[in-house]
Chain A
Amino acid sequence: MVRWTALVILAAGVSYGCKDFLEDAAKPQGTLNEQTLQTKAGVEGSLIAAYRTLDWNNGVGGAWGNAASNWVWGSVTSDDAYKGSEASDQPPINDVEAYQWATADAESYLNDKWRGAYEGVVRSNATLRLLKNVTAAKPGEISAADAASIEGEALFLRAHYTFEAWRMWGNIPVYKETDSDFRKANSTAAEALAEIIKDLDAAIAKLPVASRNGQTGRVNQWVAKAYKGRVLVYGGQFPAALTILREVRTAGPYALESSYDKVWTGFKDLENGKETIFAYQASINGGEPNGNDSNYGERLNFPHGGSTLESCCGFHQPSQNLVNFYAVDAQGLPLALTDPNWNARNTNLTAATIIPVDPRLDWTVGRDGVPYKDWGKHADTWIRAPAYGGPYSPKKNVHEKASGASSSVGWVPIQLNSVNMHLFRYADLLLMLAEAEVEAGVLENARTIVNQIRARAAVTAQGPGTDRATIAVPINDSRITWANYRVGQYTTPWTSQADARTRVRYERRVELAMEGQRFFDLQRWGIAEATLNAYLAAEKTRRLYLAAAAPFATRHRYYPIPAIQIELSKVSGAERLKQNAGW
């Protein structure tokens, strides 16, 4: 009897709480779930995450292909810049630069960009869905005003990320918050553009005039209007662009910074000034252990080890072609307008060679013997491999030493800084408006705008940079011994539309060089093939590795969609995504 009792007790003991036993252990540990986030805080947090992808670095890797500035896709592929550094570092960019876009290396970078853009779309859509759920389930949880702004912000961000993909690939699939099939077919470029504009219209309708909560990183109605103007210009819809860009210019809150040195800066008091329409808000020392919330996408684009910055890598080096483009004539107007030999020089334009140049050269390019903001004079030892990447360093993304904008954490923290990355600034908008004015035949408006930009450029130049006060000095300051700065105005009325178009485009290059815009501008102007093949012809004698470049051809109108994404789009063995023509 005792035996059987023991058995029964044992059996009873072991079968305790069978159901709860498994149930208790099934709960996820250390995560949030959909229910927890069904609150205002959840919606707001979701929106913040959607902003975060503006410079999306290490969520899953691919920081350089995903840089906010598009330096790989918009600058290295253009006539502005080389990959830089040395041949064996980041070899995928070699292929991108050489227009060998179908290689496995290039594909890996393209895939990073694709993933980054669509992650932005996914986060925007998640916000929209969550907002809908919360407003339906908990009326009053979010005020009507906040709800409208959140919706507008998310719609705007979705438009921005979709636009990023559209600029790259044209024929892209478009995703809305209601989509649940993630293997959709491509839309045509025109259809996709229409969807982007539709989102921007919806955003304009929802967004408040001033940024919500006074938070400067948030988009408002003016940002959306300005951005819509940009998208319309990209789409060649100049009449519509003209209307909205004029409205932004006359009624909007934007203005040019008083001088060019204030545009790209690490000084906190100068950031987010009137010229900033939309920028990635870089941040440092906020508790992120690797500096991933800084201007991370640009971190390789610093002088190399031998510099006073003790920084690394020397990527995104300005091209000789770009440096030559800053030469000006006696009137201070671009030499390229009048001198067909403007690009003949293939020598290092050091401080020893005093020629008339636009002062924006020395805010854009690090040159030997010229002060590099306040880091001392740029020297040949700052360059990693001059024979490979040329003698120049990038400069816009580099903060001033006195600004203290370096991170204190991360790998080579000096190059993780809080310099905001302009995604759209007012000078860019003005020049797009000028394009629209030219296309509308209102050439004098265009001239006024270009002159306005040039007047601002003429205010300061790189100074000796021994302290904050001397980083920027008047362009005729006697301490300037490395250049002869000159910025002239277009004093005579513009009468030829073709000339006006050229002048606006030249101004655009000089003003926005190294900001990741150039390649996309060349594409939308339809002159990429001619410009880049001419560029290659000259440049392959300067940077010998460019001899390996493929000629820029019709198929280069759009980047190839990453092959892996086409594979992943298969349904029942059939590809839903179609590759762009020629790839």
Chain B
Amino acid sequence: MKKLQFVRHVWRHRRSHRFHVVGMTLLLMLGLSRPVFAQPISVTGTVTSAGGATLRGVTVRVVGSDVAVLTGAGGKYSITAPSDGSLAFTLLGQRPQTVQVGGRRQIDVTMQQMAYLEQVVVTGYSEEQRRADITGAVASVNIEAANKLTAASLLQKLDANVTGVTVDASGSPGSRSTVRIRGISSFQNNDPLYIVDGTPVQDSYINFLNPNDIASIQVLKDASTASIYGSRASNGVIIIETTKRGSVGPPRATLKVRTGIASPTRGYDDFLILDALQYHEILKRSYVNAGLPVPTNVYGDPNNPRVPSYIWPNNCNPNPCSTVNEANYSFPNNLIMKGSAGTNWWDAVFGSAFVGDYNLDVTGGGLDNAYALSFGYFDQQGTAAYNGFQRGSVRINTQFTRKKLVFGENISLSLERSNGGIPNDPGGFAEDGIIGKNILMQPVVPVRDVGGNFASGKAVGLGNQSNPLKFAWGAKDNVSRNDRIFGNLFAGFDLTPQITIRTRLGFNMGQGSFTGFAPIIPENSEPNFTNNLNENASRFTDWTWSNTIKYGKQYGSHNVSLFLGQEANRQTNRFLAAGISNLINTDLNSRFVQDALGDAATKTVTTIGGESALLSVFGKADYNFSDRYVASVTLRRDGSSNLSPDHRWGTFPAFGLGWRISQEKFLANNKLFSDVMLRFGWGVTGNQAIPSGRIVSQFGGSRGDTYYDIGGTNNTVTAGFRETSLGNKDLKWEENKSTNVGVDLALWDRKVDVVIDVYNRETNNLLFDPPIPATAGIAAPPIVNVGKMENRGIDFSIGHRASNWSVSFNGSRYKNKIVQIDGVQDFFYGPISTRFGNQVINKVGNPIGSFYGYQADGFFSDAADIAAHARQDGAAPGRIKFRDTNGDGQITLADRTIIGSPHPDLTAGLDLSYRRGDWDVSATFFGTFGNEIFDAQKEYYVFRNFSTNVRKDLLTDSWTEQNKNAKYPRLDVNDNFSRAISSFYVEDGSYVRLRNLQLGYEVPPKYLRWIPAAKLYLQAENLFTLTGYDGLDPALPAANIFGPAGDIRDQYRGIDRGSYPSSRTFSLGIITNF
């Protein structure tokens, strides 16, 4: 896609050179403002890189005109130009070149890699800045590398490519991404602000954006750059430009097709018991060790266990079931299930899945207009059964020029559809999702009963899980849709050569719907004979109108630019949900909420809505002296409707200083340091991302909570109200102060680029809702501004680009610390629990979402060991010994302590590419180090809660008198103690993964008669993972959890509750131009 990046923001290029130092491209254009044309001639040629590779997609422009073409296959171009004119060659990342035509008809050009500091990136309000003018921390994403990965959202793969960014996502199709920039600044709502073509949006999916349409992504990491977006910028800003505008010439099309096959990177069948009788052995030992009789209802005599002929009906006499009259089978009331010698439940649900990505772009334009159209279709089937995601998208970007007026629009329409049990993660996290504990069904349970219907562990001792395939099947028609219109209309006008005004109306409008159906589950141990339908529909409108004015002028060595703006934003949403139970006909065509179709008494309808607005003014001044000293000052004021009228307005200042030392005499012509830029930035950003209307206390109620049958009628409840949330009339802005010190280095004649940034971020007046004592009631606690949090860290990258190979390595490290909670409490627990309790604490002095529990100190070896240890309830040989951390001689809840952290010490990405002739190969590695995972699945596959299946090595590595250094405690059905939340569940979550390996082949022109160019490639994603983590997949998504004050997933990370594993995907792609 690189060939199209040249055209972005043509109108901006043309304007910006008048007031802004924007690198060579523009300097060239400056000198050519009075063109004189001679006789036009036809010029052809080939453009190659310094290493000799031909370059496609290079813009060749007749200087002083809008006539331009792109190089095609083999780097060839053909253009008509004045014989005494000049041609400008530009390609992103390459140093622009201008060549005098001088009457020549063939001009071959070799382009040079552009120095890092000369690169141009988009920063605030779509302004382009040369790196050498940036004083803050701005990272650019290598779009090409990132786009090699198969995902609905490009965000999912940013972490390997850009420093200071972490991304968590699951392998679920269309999965949400948790993108965090430089740690975590607040207890909730930490999504960064995305600016897509100038329109702000805060969203965890961005699935509506076709990654193929994205031309560039810049990450504004520190406040000195982000504060121009003040109000919502405290979590950093990600600027996405889709603009693929056309250029002069006939329509040119690019078709990209990629299809592949995905399968889970790992399955539970790798380490769970797959044999029914082996499972019986676990069962037997657990009972024998506890001194209890072994249940015989399934396997019969424990000394001679057999795979039963039938696991159901119960008590078929004799028990276990050996003879059952299958003729008595009837669904749903008389089910008969055979015993299985060993069901592989993982295999029953997970397998390989198809992935397809199809894109067609068309670009073109005339002297006063340019257009780009793109059509995309993305189809990702889940590796779990009956689960998938599809998106169709259309983008229209056009631009018109009329004298000093430029106007146009960028609009994308997208339709997303996902189906299946766990399309968007939340179901996959709860223990009741397909993966949670359901897939830990015992191997003796068959997938289907004798009648071909789904079976389950109905008999005593087989657990109360649901058949995971049934679960998936039941949800196969649960469809959720999101339709989105996103884009903006813009206009710019040159008042004077120095002053430009611009206006932009951005909009983000969407509607969504979901239809969910739950079938009866007669086969379950806890059966349910009621079916249920629920559906919802939502819509939202979010518009932003921004108006800016810009002034720029050069006075000798002094370069000044001023920028002022004003912005208004308004968001409204409404949500409607309805449901009905006992559908008479469960056919898809009858799944509607209507009285006649189900039990009318069960029909429910609810609507909710919200509204909020922001109003802002902002300004920025940039100063550059002789390309040596750079300074910028930003000031923004924002008003938010979510906050108290008295504290509604917040002020967000920032400044930055830069010193390009390499311009000083003492570093001139230095052999080592070709270019050195020191940067310092400081600034304040804000956050007001809380639900609207929390200034005052809210009241409400519902039939299940506040209504009561006061008349004793048995079926009519009288309305009741309670306080549902407590207001805070003093709500004010959360502020994030950040300091950044950075250096950009080009070493050894610019062969190696190094960027290092060190930062400190401090959040004050942190908006959140600390828990209040129950004596104040269950109303949602007031949101208050009392917390403090701190993030310190370092981001670095080092890269080298040779002519035919390149390598770049980047690393990030942050340290998060809660400094203050509410001034009184020094901790609060995590938002949700697993079956055995809450394993998360947010505690002053520790990072958010730390793991909390007992410190496990191996196993009690014998009675003497028990006697020597602090008094511990249930202490027995082979049970886990907990540490008496407070030294009071007994193990109580007070001994719980911090036992781990989900935050990595380091995340790193490595990108390699190599080209030889028509072939190229590239690889991307990603690694995370030092983070811990709380493997909550151990509650099931080690402690057998709910009689689930367990790990194979429990058979060989559980504590016995002979194996006291075992991995697991003694098998003992009476051991209710070892399973307490402790460090036994905590494992190192470090891993290194080969994210992508791609082999490409540029088809030489001689083989191509019917299309101008083609590239073929073969790629493998997630080919291997190096990790010590014992669970399914160390790449865990953050759980989807909301509290009354918003999204609180950051309080609950790194906990393996059975999430959708990453996929290993092999795919084949082709790119053609015509």
Residues of A at the B interface (CB closer than 8 Å) are 3-4, 6-7, 10-11, 14-15, 18, 21-34, 36-37, 42, 45-52, 54, 57-60, 86-89, 91, 94-95, 98, 100, 102-105, 107-108, 111, 114-115, 118-119, 121-123, 126, 173, 175, 182-184, 213, 215-218, 268, 271-272, 281-290, 292-293, 304-306, 310, 312-313, 380-381, 384-385, 387, 405, 408-413, 418, 420, 544-545, 547-548, 550, 563-565, 567-573
Q: Can you list 8 A-B pairs with a CB-CB distance of less than 8 A?
A: A25-B692, A31-B698, A31-B724, A91-B945, A98-B976, A272-B712, A548-B974, A568-B774
How far, in Å, is A171 (CB) from chain B's closest CB? 14
- By a CB distance below 8 angstroms, the chain B residues around A95 are 976
Q: Among the listed A94, A104, A545, which residue makes an inter-chain contact with B838, where contact means beta carbons less than 8 Å apart?
A: A104
Q: How many angstroms from the CA of A305 to the CA of B704 in the assembled complex? A: 26
CB distance from A413 to the nearest CB of B (A): 6
Contacts A22-B613, A57-B704, A281-B709 given; does A48 touch B528 at CB 8 Å: no
Task: Contact check, B526 vs A313: say whether CB atoms are below 8 A apart.
Answer: yes
Are A104 and B613 closer than 8 Å at their CB atoms?
Answer: no
Chain A hits for B327, CB < 8 A: none
Contacts between the two chains (Cβ within 8 Å), count: 344
- B716 pairs with A409, CB closer than 8 A: no
Assess whether A380 is in contact with B776, with CB atoms less than 8 Å apart. no
Give the CA-CA distance A544 to B582 in the complex, in Å.
42
Partner of B291, one of A58, A217, A281, A544: A544
Minimum C-beta distance from A313 to chain B (A): 7
A539: min CB distance to chain B, Å: 15
Known contacts A28-B694, A545-B974; can you find 12 more A-B pairs with CB under 8 A? A25-B692, A28-B692, A59-B778, A104-B837, A104-B980, A114-B774, A126-B722, A268-B714, A290-B704, A387-B295, A408-B530, A569-B773
Write out the residue numbers on chain A whose beta carbons fall within 8 Å of the beta carbon of B779.
122
B974: chain A residues at CB < 8 Å are: 544-545, 547-548
The reply to whether B601 and A173 contact each other, CB–CB distance below 8 Å, is no
- Determine the chain A residues whose CB is within 8 A of the CB of B706 once the complex forms: 45, 48-49, 52
Give, as a whole number of angstroms, the nearest-CB distance from B163 to chain A: 37
Tell whether B104 is near chain A: CB-to-CB under 8 Å.
no
Segment among B10-18, B421-429, B827-835 that sits at the interface with chain A: B827-835
Asked whether any CB of chain A lies closer than 8 Å to the CB of B721, the reply is: yes
Q: How far is the CA of A217 from the CA of B711 in the complex (A)?
A: 5
Contact call A285/B699, Cβ cutoff below 8 A: no
Q: Given the complex, which residues of A lie within 8 Å of B710, measured CB to CB?
A: 48, 51, 215, 217-218, 281
B252-291: CB near A (< 8 Å → 1, else 0) gives 0000000000000000000000000000000000000011
Within 8 A of A (CB), among B864-909: 873-874, 892-894, 896
Q: Would B579 and A26 count as touching, CB distance under 8 A? A: no
Check A87/B973 contact, CB under 8 A, given A52-B706, A182-B775, A568-B772. Answer: yes
Measured CB to CB, the closest approach of chain B to A350, in angstroms, equals 14
CB A399 to nearest CB in B, in angstroms, measures 11
Q: What is the CB-to-nearest-CB distance from B295 to chain A, in angstroms, rounded to a whole number?
A: 6
Q: Which residues of A contact B980 (CB under 8 A)?
A: 103-104
A54–B947 Cα distance when bound, in Å, is 34
The answer to whether A34 and B496 touch (CB under 8 A), given A122-B777, A286-B715, A412-B527, is: no
* Chain A nearest CB, measured from B959 CB (Å): 18
Q: Which residues of B contact A380 (CB under 8 A)?
A: 315
Of the 9-residue stretches B191-199, B367-375, B639-647, B929-937, which lies at the interface with chain A? B639-647
- Say whether, besides A48-B707, A52-B708, A104-B981, A14 and B547 are in contact (CB < 8 Å): yes
Choose one: B717, B776, B835, B838; the contact of A283 (CB below 8 Å).
B717
Partner of A571, one of B714, B723, B824: B824
B551 CB to nearest chain A CB (Å): 12
* Chain B residues, Cβ within 8 Å of A286: 703, 707, 709, 715-717
B696 at the interface (CB under 8 A from A): yes
Closest residue on chain B to residue A105 by CB atoms: B837
Q: Mark contacts of B799-841 with chain A using CB atoms, 8 A cut-off: 1 yes-contact digit, 0 otherwise.
A: 0000000000000000000000000111101000101111000
**A45 in contact with B721 (CB, 8 Å):** yes
Closest chain A residue to B529 by CB distance?
A310
- B304 contacts the other chain (CB 8 A): no
Residues of B within 8 A of A30 (CB): 607-610, 700
Q: What residue of chain B has the Cβ atom nearest to residue A56's Cβ?
A: B705
Which residues of the other chain, B, contact A126 by a CB distance below 8 angstroms?
722-723
Q: Point out the residue from B601, B720, B826, B836 that lies within 8 Å of A91, measured CB to CB.
A: B836
CA distance A568 to B825 in the complex (A): 7
| Interface-centre pick from B604, B611, B714 (highest chain A CB count, 10 A) | B714
* B contact residues around A568 at 8 Å (CB): 771-774, 825
| Given A32-B721, A105-B836, A118-B775: A285 and B715 interface contact (C-beta under 8 Å) | yes
> Could you tell me the distance between the alpha carbons of A302 and B708 in the complex, rounded to whole angstroms?
24
Over the window 585-607 of chain B, the binary record of Cβ atoms lying under 8 Å from chain A Cβ atoms (1 yes, 0 no) is: 00000000000000101111001
Which A residues lie within 8 Å of B648 (CB)? 22
A26 in contact with B773 given A217-B708, A412-B528 (CB within 8 Å): no
Closest approach, in angstroms, between the C-beta of A304 and any C-beta of chain B? Answer: 8
Q: In the complex, A87 Cα to B943 Cα: how many Å?
A: 12
* Contact (Cβ within 8 A) A45 B701: yes
Chain B residues with Cβ under 8 A from A287's Cβ? 601, 603-604, 703, 717
Given A25-B692, A26-B641, A570-B825, verify A183-B601 contact (CB < 8 Å). Answer: no
Q: Does B525 contact A (CB under 8 A)?
A: yes
Cβ-based interface call for B27 (8 A): no
> Which of A94, A119, A547 contacts B774 (CB under 8 A)?
A119
Distance in angstroms between the alpha carbons of A25 and B501 in the assembled complex: 29
Identity of the chain A residue whose Cβ is nearest the Cβ of B294 in the assembled complex: A387
Is B625 at the interface (CB under 8 A from chain A)?
Answer: no
Q: Contact check, A215 vs B712: say whether CB atoms are below 8 A apart.
A: yes
Q: CB of B460 within 8 A of chain A?
A: yes
| CA of A63 to CA of B708, assembled, Å | 16
Instruction: Write the nearest CB–CB distance from A381 to chain B, whole angstroms.
Output: 5
Confirm or deny: B612 has a beta carbon within 8 angstroms of a beta carbon on chain A: yes
A367 → B minimal CB distance (Å): 17
**Pick the contact of B527 from A111, A213, A312 — CB < 8 Å?**
A312
A21 with B712, Cβ < 8 A, contacts A26-B642, A293-B717, A548-B976 known: no
B697 at the binding interface (Cβ < 8 Å): yes
B325: interface (CB < 8 Å): no
Which residues from B are CB-within-8-Å of A24? Answer: 611, 613, 641
Query: B713, A283: Cβ atoms under 8 Å?
Result: yes
In the complex, the answer to whether B712 meets A271 with C-beta atoms within 8 Å is yes
A289 with B707: CB separation less than 8 A: no
- Pick the residue among A21, A182, A283, A550 that contacts B568 (CB under 8 A): A21
**A529–B784 alpha-carbon span in the complex (Å):** 47
- Structural contact, A293 and B495, CB atoms closer than 8 A: no
With a cutoff of 8 Å between Cβ atoms, the chain A residues found around residue B525 in the complex are: 304-305, 312, 384
Give, as a whole number of angstroms, the nearest-CB distance from A377 to chain B: 14
Say yes or no for B549: interface residue by CB 8 A criterion. Answer: yes
Contact at A28–B704, with CB atoms within 8 Å?
no
A292 adjacent to B703 (CB under 8 Å): yes
Evaluate contact between A22 and B640: CB separation under 8 angstroms. yes
Query: A175 touches which one: B697, B775, B835 (CB < 8 A)?
Result: B775
In angstroms, Cα B776 to Cα A115, docked, is 9
Check if B639 sits within 8 Å of A22, measured CB to CB: yes
Least CB distance from A581 to B in Å reads: 15
- Is residue B314 within 8 Å, beta carbon to beta carbon, of the partner chain? yes
Q: Is the CB of B718 within 8 A of A23?
A: no
Contacts of B946 in A (CB 8 A): 88-89
Q: How far is the CB of B575 from chain A (nearest CB, A)?
A: 9
> For A285, what are the chain B residues with a Cβ–Cβ distance below 8 Å?
601-602, 715
Is B503 positioned at the interface, with any CB of A under 8 Å from its CB?
yes
Contact assessment for B292 and A544 in the assembled complex, using a CB-CB cutoff below 8 Å: yes
Would you list the 10 A-B pairs with minimal beta carbon distance, nearest first? Answer: A28-B693, A292-B704, A48-B720, A122-B777, A49-B720, A25-B613, A283-B709, A288-B703, A31-B698, A182-B776
Please tell me if the beta carbons of B604 and A289 are within 8 angstroms of each other in the complex.
yes
CB closest chain-B residue, reference A412: B528
Which of A34, A408, A550 sits near B581, CB closer than 8 Å? A408
Q: Is residue B719 contacting chain A, with contact meaning CB distance below 8 A?
A: yes
